[in-house]
């Protein structure tokens, strides 16, 4: 069985990364820059502990870099 998106479905799918980024930006607008840095540091630590290779790769995370 092969499933494929229609042109309309693909067009919508192409918008999802920007929709997600916009939603995150709206959510993070409630935080000041220090809070964003703290949250980023904590979430990165959780991802490393979870050994979530896919997310770490997407973020181009270097575990040896100073966070």
pLDDT at position 63: 55
Taking only the tens place, the pLDDT of each residue in 4-55 is 999 999 999 999 999 999 999 999 999 999 999 999 899 888 888 888 778 7
Q: Which residues make Cβ contacts (< 8 Å) with residue 44, sequence separation at least 6?
A: 59, 61, 67
Assign 7 to helix, strand or coil. helix
Residue from 27, 28, 32, 62 nearest 44 by CA: 62
- Could you tell me if 5 and 13 are in contact, meaning their C-beta atoms sit under 8 angstroms apart? yes
In whole angstroms, give the CA distance from residue 21 to residue 58: 14
């Amino acid at each position: 069985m092969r499933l494929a998106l229609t042109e309309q479905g693909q067009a919508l799918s192409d918008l999802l990364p920007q929709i997600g980024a916009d939603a995150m930006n709206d959510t993070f607008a409630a935080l000041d820059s220090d809070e964003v840095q703290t949250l980023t540091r904590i979430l990165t630590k959780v991802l490393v502990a979870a050994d979530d290779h896919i997310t770490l790769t997407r973020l181009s995370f270097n575990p040896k870099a100073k966070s």
